[in-house]
Structure formats: C-alpha cells, structure tokens
Structure 1
Amino acid sequence: MSRNDPKDPLVRSLVLLGLIPRYPKSASVQELKTALEQRGFSVTARTLQRDLGEKLSTRFPLISQNDGQTLRWSFDSQAQITLPATDTAAALAMNLAEGHLKHLLPPGVLALLEPQFATARNHLQSLQHNPLTRWAQRVRSLPNGKTLLPASVDGQVWESVATALLEQRQLQVDYFSRVKGEVKTMTLHPKGLASRGPASYLIASVGDYTDVRHFALHRIQRAEVLIDPTRDDDFDMDAYLPTAAFTPRQGTGMVELVADVHPDTAWILRETPLSEEQTLDPLPENDWLRLRVRVADDQETLWWVLGLGASILVHEPASLQKAINNNSKSLHSMYSLSSIQITVTR
C-alpha cells in the first residue's frame, strides 16, 4: 500500500485524529465517519468506534462524553498534539509569532492558540545543543509605537464568527451599539474580518439590507451560527476597507507632503521611507532637510506629523497645516486653563 492509500488503517487513524476537535467542541462517530468518507476513507461506524475507544483513546488525550443520545469525542482542551512531530524551524516560527501576535489578537483567540505555542516552546527547550534554541532566546518582536491591550473577545463569539465566515453561513448576534447604548439582536451576512490595532471587526450586511457595515467583535455579546447560507455577492475587501468607518480618514485620495525635517528625523526617513518616491534635499540655511513625498490624506498622516512635534515644519498641503494649527491652539488653550485652575487651587 502507498502511504496515501485510504485503505491503510494507519493513514486513516492519522486523518481521524486531525478531525477530532478540542473540548468544548466535540464530534460524534457519525460526524467523523461522514468527514472521513468525504476524504476517501470507507469505514463502518462500529469500526470507527472501536478505533476510538480501544486504540486511539489509550494513546492520545481524547475525551468521550454522552450527550444523552450519542457518544461524542474531543481532544483535551490543553492537549499538546504534534501530528506529525514538530519541525524545529516551524517551532521557531511559532515561538517568534507568539511574541508578535500577543499585541494583535484578543485574549480569547490567543488562548485557543496556546497549545500550539506550548508545543513549540517545549520542542525548542528540548534541543539543548541546537543553535536555533539560542536564537529563540535572543530574538524578540516589538511593536512600533504605543500599544494598547487587545479588546477582550469571548472565545465562543470568536469561534462562531470564524465558522460563519469560513462556511458562508448567516450569524445571529446580540450586539451592543456604542451610539445607541443598547443591545440589539440581528442577523448578519458575514463578508470578511479585519484587524486594526487592538480591535477586530466583522464586515457584514444586516438582514435584508445590502449595504455593508462593520461590527466590533468585542461588542458582540452572543453569536450563533445559523443553518441558512449567507447572501452570495461579489464583495471586494480591498475596495471596502478604504471607506470603512473604522479607517480613520481626514480627506480623500493622496496629497503631496512638503515639509522641513530635523536631521534625526531625516535619518530615520532615509532608512525607512514613507514611499519609494520620497526625496530629502539639504536646505542652504541650516542642517534641516526638505521632505517631499506623496502620502494618504488621512488621519494617520496627521497623527504621524503631530507625533514628530517640533521636528517637522509642514509647508504643504494647506489642509494639514490648518489641522496642525488648530491642534496647537486647542492644546495651548487647554493647558493655559489648566495652569489657571492650578494657581487658583493653590
């Protein structure tokens, strides 16, 4: 028999193990039998039950529970499963990814990945004399800028959203509206998922409406995957995102940014340019440099410029100059008032 022969019981057992979900999710023998048949394996329910009860459960951390009608199988929620054995390079990639993803994913999702992260850590720790282990100990992924803690997303909500999106099924949710200050039950047609900083958003249309909206996952209090398929349409994620409400925007399109920048800022921009067409030219009167570059006319550009403070002097566009002036006036007024209040209190 070839190694991919569906008649090979070893191959069937390996595929079967990959189909068993982690607790609290579970699968019945009939569900596993159907999944195996879809993959080309013909097996009776009796044989499958014998394999699970007499062979696999004695060698793997499997859990069996009777729901009153049938026996259902799961992997222990904390089981560290390596099928096949973890590759060292893959373990290193998972180890480094853990440090990066903890700044992006909500805690509930990280908890679902913890067994894989633990497997990678244990594998690397077992390689006492492997140079890759030392690499993992000395390499870190750090966020760029101030990082907020990820919004808390219920694990069941995340699981339901992911299932509905991947299987293209409708989703019923209890959603807290920040604007209205109340919880509303609605049926969604999932289109996509977007992560922006510490928050993740489900892109979907509501009920019979065709317009696409976004829903913060951490505001979904309950989610249930429905049997009905989602409405099929030609949704373009890349076309939608620039217009999404959670994408901070100040204007539209691109503008040319012309500004004088401090030498230290110029040095950073040489190493990490804003775009490939960026230019930095020396100024005759001092050691500052003239920056010219096309950038998005959005809120992020404004935040970046404001973050540079006195290290940048913007000449164009006029809209950006105006926004900086308004911000400076507001800060001056606010801190002046604060200073007066402190004086009066004293």
Structure 2
Amino acid sequence: MKSKQRTDSFETALMILALLERIPASPKKITSKKLQEKLQAAGFDRDLRSVQRLLDSLSQHFDIERDDRSKPYGYSWNKDAKGFSWPGLNEQESLLLRLAEQHLRNLLPTRLMKSMDGFFKQAQERLAPHGDAQLARQWLGKVHVISARQPLLPPEIRAGILDAVSNALYENKWLEVDYENQRSVRSKVRVMPLGLVQQEQCLYLVCRYDGYDNERHLALHRMHKATVEPWPFERPRFDLKKYGADGHFGFGEGKLVRLHFRIAKDAGFHLLESKLSKDQQVQEEDDCYAITATLVDSAMLQWWLNGFGEAVWDVRRTPVKTT
C-alpha cells in the first residue's frame, strides 16, 4: 500500500513540474482546458476540475497570475517572476546564451527578444564574478560579431502577429492574414503555414495560399492582422531548407547556372578562402582570377556582382539542366 502511495505521489510531483513548465510568462496566458490537453499529451490523464484545483493551489505558492476578467480564465507567470526552469545553466551554456543575446539583439523583433528575457537573465546571473564563471564573464569582452553589411534595425512587427503565426505553424492550422504587399496593396488571404525563416533582420512566413499548391513567403512586418482558424490541415511534403537553398529568398526561381566571371585579385582574394560553391574552380591569371561556380541564379547574385563595379568583368551564365 505504501509503495502505491509513493508511486502516486511521485507521479503527482512529475505532473506538477509538467504543469509549471507549460505556463507561459505574462503577457501570454493559457487556459486550464489548454493545460489539461497539454498534460494529457504528456501522459498525465486528469479531468479539467482537477487541473483547475491544482492551478488554484499552485497560485498560492508560486508567482502565478489568474486573469479572471472573462471566461475561460487565463494563467501566466507574473512578468517579473523568474518562472519555472530546470536546473541552472553551467558556465559554458550561460556564455553561449549571452553571446546569442548580443548577436540577436539587433536582428530579431523586440517582442521576440523580450520572450527570451528569462533565459538571458538566468545566464547573466550564472556568470557572476567568481571562480571559473569570472573567466567566462571576461570572455564576453574578448569576442565580438561584426556584420559584413551595413547594419539595419529590424522592422516593427505588430502586436499578436508573431504569436498567431507561431501557433498556427506549430498546430498545423489555417491562418487568415490581413497583408499589405510591397506595392501597398492590402488584401485578406487564407494561408497554410509551412515554415518561418529569418533573413537578415526580417522574419518571413513560408506558406501556401488556399486553393494553390505552390509556396510563397510573406513578411511578418507587412501583416496588419493574423488570426488562427480552428481548422487543422494535413501538412504536405515540404522541405524548408531546400526552399531556401533554391534561391527563393534571393529573389530567384531556383534555377541553377554555371557562373563564369573574372575578378581583380584584390577584390576577389577572399573567394579563395570563402568559396561561392563546393564545385568552385579558380584559375589565376596575371591581373585577376577566373572563377567558375554552380549557383542559383537570382537578383541577389546580380546585386552581389554589381557591388564589385569594374573589378568584375566577363560575366557569363550557362543554364544547368536538372533531372
């Protein structure tokens, strides 16, 4: 009998940990029904009333808020709370997180960065000035990330957009988007979310329009509103990495070319160290390098070539046949 009680107590403890871990930080919130579903998916079968009683009890011992202004009630960690996390980060993990924070600060939208505040704060506290942690803390002043391009601030993403896009993407649900394109034409579209891509400072949703079978991508900062529909879809076969590798974010159509060009030695020396492709070939001549490489043809490639001005000449493209 005691063994069974001990087992039940252990399972209850595991369930409490699972529950605490699934409560989001304010301003996000989650209902008791949604928490019950998440617990059930994790293998803890409890009725809704039991979950509600447990939440009420935990709210008295942890810094958990209950938004009871309307039903269903929403639960969240207080915005100033440390929340719940597994055992603390070690020095190496904290260092990596701090470096990630420095690198991402001007690349990601402010709201997305704020959602990581708890992790960054935990890493900062772990790198206190003592022992080996002091050496790790000093290391932060010994490494730096420099962009090869003119740095730009990320465009502002409207409130609620990232949450809706992320939830629809995670749950394979249709998404209704109020979207304004580059020509300032605004329309409402129903899309099947397939992937999220960051390019430089911008976030893009890769998706299919309802009724179409081809992919396109929409900039999150051009969305005025995004609403998750209750209807799920069956995710089609889709390779996000291949979609990016095919040059769609370089403003191309995924067509391969064998690129031939000549470049002055001072302008092209870096291509001997950082290759354009795995099959790149270089022939050294008196005043230049003759370079050949297989690449996806795109506007981005043309902009790159144009950036060298008169230091690049004799540019030729040969289409590559694919089977």
TM-score under structure 1 length normalisation: 0.77
- The count of aligned residue pairs is 312
SS in 2 for 1:201: strand
Q: Which runs of 5+ in 2 are unaligned?
A: 319-323
C-alpha separation between the residues in 1 aligned to 2:168 and 2:7? Answer: 31
Partner of 2:225: 222
Match of 1:283 among 282, 285, 306: 285
Distance 1:115 1:71, change over 3 A: same
SS in 1 for 2:160: helix
Q: Is the 8 A contact 2:21 2:84 kept in 1?
A: no
Q: Which deviations, in whole Å up to 9, do the C-alpha atoms of 1:296-324 show, x marking residues without a partner?
A: 433333322332335x34223179xxxxx
C-alpha separation between the residues in 1 aligned to 2:243 and 2:295? Answer: 19
C-alpha separation between the residues in 2 aligned to 1:115 and 1:283? Answer: 56
- Is 1:115 the equivalent of 2:118? yes
Q: Which runs of 5+ in 1 are unaligned?
A: 320-346
- 1:283 maps to a residue whose letter is E
- 2:13 maps to a residue whose letter is L
Distance 1:212 1:313, change over 3 A: closer
Q: Is the 8 A contact 1:257 1:314 kept in 2?
A: no
SS in 1 for 2:195: strand
Partner of 1:134: 138
Q: Which is richer in helix?
A: 1
Distance 1:183 1:277, change over 3 A: closer
Partner of 2:182: 178
Aligned-residue offset at 1:42: 4.2
Aligned-residue offset at 1:93: 1.5
C-alpha separation between the residues in 1 aligned to 2:317 and 2:15? Answer: 67
SS in 1 for 2:115: helix
Partner of 2:105: 102
Partner of 2:86: 84
Identity of aligned residues (%): 25
Greater C-alpha radius of gyration: 1
Distance 1:112 1:4, change over 3 A: farther
- Is 1:144 the equivalent of 2:143? no
Distance 1:92 1:59, change over 3 A: farther
Q: Which deviations, in whole Å up to 9, do the C-alpha atoms of 1:219-242 show, x marking residues without a partner?
A: 111111111113543334355446
TM-score under structure 2 length normalisation: 0.82
Q: Is the 8 A contact 1:80 1:116 kept in 2?
A: no
C-alpha separation between the residues in 2 aligned to 1:316 and 1:245? Answer: 22
Partner of 2:321: none
- 1:10 maps to a residue whose letter is A
Distance 1:5 1:104, change over 3 A: farther
- Is 1:158 the equivalent of 2:162? yes
- 1:175 maps to a residue whose letter is Y
Distance 1:147 1:6, change over 3 A: farther
In terms of mean alpha carbon deviation, does 120-129 or 245-254 score higher?
Answer: 245-254
C-alpha separation between the residues in 2 aligned to 1:71 and 1:239? Answer: 42
Aligned-residue offset at 1:129: 4.6
In terms of mean alpha carbon deviation, does 271-280 or 17-26 score higher?
Answer: 271-280
C-alpha separation between the residues in 1 aligned to 2:194 and 2:253? Answer: 26
Partner of 1:299: 299
Q: Is the 8 A contact 1:169 1:230 kept in 2?
A: yes
Partner of 1:167: 171
